[in-house]
Structure 1
Amino acid sequence: MLLALLLGIYVVYLIGGLIIGFPLRGLVNQIGQLTFWIAVFGMAALALNLQWGYTGLFNIGIVAFMATGVYVTAILSKPVYGSGTSAAEVGGLGLPLWIGIIGGMLAAALMGLIAALPALRLRADYLAIVTIALSEIVRFTLLSDTFSGSDVGGYRIGLGGGDGIILDYGDPLELFIKGLSWPFDLLLGQEHVLWEDVYLGAIVETAGLVITTNPKAVVDNFVYAGLLLVVMGGFYALLVRTGNSPFGRVLKAIREDEDVTNALGKNTNQFKIKSFMVGCALMGLVGILWFGTQGSVTPNTFRPRITFYIWIALIIGGSGSNTGSVLGGAIFAAFLYQGPRYFKNIVESALGDPSAPPSFGPAIAELPDVVPLLLYTLDSLRQLQLVIMGLVLVWLMHNRPEGILGHRKEIAASVPLTRPRREQSGTLAADGGDLDE
């Protein structure tokens, strides 16, 4: 079902681009961006599903854990800068990128523990208030000039303040390609070949693609988006296995009735803390993979809007369902997040980039001629995106609050509960009676 959905989305995007004669570079870029957003929102929805769908923990401070993962990774893996540089040019510890990624995930998990210890004694709306307050505390801390940068032992280290922080610690895609190629380098006894040469020629030249402007950037984006799909598959496998394990069954019992679960001898607070920390670590990894290739981030990047995007994706697919989480992430990315922008590009290209009225007044002044109003609406489609999302969310809450695949029946036992088959007619049961009885 997921493969059919993804294939259908790609076909729609390709047909839309081909109809208006999009150049090959534009098509490749659009498919790469679409794949990137599907993977990002799918991973984020899966991480949230562990907390809300499995355990019933209402976390609307997702951006706090994303920001923690991104900034800690930058601090650990950025090159070392000397003292005297500006606040925006703060350095780091110069550690390998893979150590920075692990450190960012651990820091996000620790942030989850700090939030969980006092907050998990609360329920429902109160936990939501605590988590969204935490996200704003993290954002304003990153904005503070106090932590923007300071000279420590002759080195400039800090968070960058309102100027943000430059993510010049290397490319995660390069780290992955080198990780795949080192066994061959060891076997052949030679130095590592430039990683872009490994696949750039193979994809661009062998496939016959004619991309004249910066082909490496196009292929990089496409390959990195494919890598994120693989990581999303790892998220999915991890959460499916977690949900089918005894640990996952306790989490679902807590979601249904915490008091009964506690009465059965389970330390529900301990299970909730573990679930919350694992989910926060995964959210930190999503933030690292999401923003790690953008070159720089600012604290205002991590506004609550991103949290609500992820919640919409989970609600569309259905909480409690891993398949639904990926499904919701794909639908949200294709039709609510990336779709309006792509539609705008298609229409503008088809109409030859028409000029729209500068404001709403001139747009309605020429009624009953609706063309200026339509052009103004098309030009304002980015701002109307939030309105469209809100309307979709309201419709879902009224008509299908469980989502597309939510609230499915699940088997609570780890062993089959079906009646054993009778091997021979007339065999006596353990109580001496016939099995037919």
Structure 2
Amino acid sequence: MPVTRSSAAGVCWILLTGCVFAAHSVTFEVKDGNSTCIKADLNASFSITYTTTNGTSAVRFALPSSAVVGESSSCGEEELQVSFGAGHSLTLLFSKDEGLYRVSNISLQYNLSDSSTFPQSSSTGLVTVMTNVTEIWARLNSTYRCVSSSSIRLSSEANLTFSDVHLEAYMRGADFSSDESVCSADQTVTTSAPTQSPRTTAAPSPVPPPAPERGNYTLTDRNGTACLLALMGLQLNITHRSRALNQTVTEIVNLQPNRTAASGSCGVTVATLVLTEDLTNLTFTFTLNSTTQKYFLSSVSVSALWPDMTERFVERNASLNLLQCSVGRSYMCSSEQTLSIVSSFSINTFRLQLQPFNVTAGRFSAVEECRVDQENMLIPIIVGVALAGLVLIVLIAYLIGRKRTHAGYQTI
């Protein structure tokens, strides 16, 4: 398959010795005949720690202008492979569903035998690291744009940093679409300072809407097999600055399943579910602990720009440990529960059932109930046992009293 590449000049490969290096965007294009399917302007740098004869060392280098589109690049699989240096390569794998496309996998292959990049390395040969956790997504027939710098952890030894990125997959033409999907880091809304004095009245208490409709969100792998299942009603609680009231308010909004698109990725130890509504984007990351054989909700990020907000609301918490469940089972919580993400953002869940790993035949596995449901079931059991005990005590007291009454009479 013919592929082409153009680039902007400039590259610097250096050790982390306090020096500064400049990275420049490099343009890549994957073609099938005369048709372009992937185009990307990438400004990327890499930070890698490796073992040397004297201990460990760290190297940082930028994607060079000499990088070329690799042989594995494909329009059929929507894959962009960038080859550079002595055996190094960066690969972006794309997927699409429900009107969105995303980078579903990023892998980096680096060659420790390249002594100019990894001097005094005690190991040789190729090392491959990868991740399924990315937040690079866009609407179909639009260009993904992210000027802000963002770091992606590929392993404990390797990190990748993107900045000033423009890319598009599943393209209709040879040029970037004029319609852009801007990353959340770039979506800042500037407003002029209010001329009126802030109101001193207390913010009105939020009126909760009715319980949200239960959405059915399913992710499939590249073979079309279901790999993540989620049934849940979601209610978002966000504290923000009100444009109308010129004060901080808490707004409660239901996520509407009929207007929400689900996307994401399924990995061996990490799975991501992205829910996108008109004005809201939610990302749930689930992590599997192979030692304890339990999975849990490890990260939640939100980006929202509701009509009454003075600026886009963006928050993330990547140190959560919620919705814990044993692998091979599905987590269920019929009761309403609140997931506290950050002080200004929480999620109320209703009739929740999910399974992000080990899905078999497209169906939920055996249920592991949440603590709230267990306690709700335990209360009527305790009350029933208490009532049964009370009845038993009354019956015993009655029998003892009757026996004593008969003992008071003498036979003639």
Rg larger for: 2
TM-score normalised over the length of structure 2:
0.21
Task: Identify which of structures 1 and 2 has the higher relative contact order when contacts are C-alpha pairs closer than 8 Å and 6+ apart.
Answer: 1
TM-score normalised over the length of structure 1:
0.20
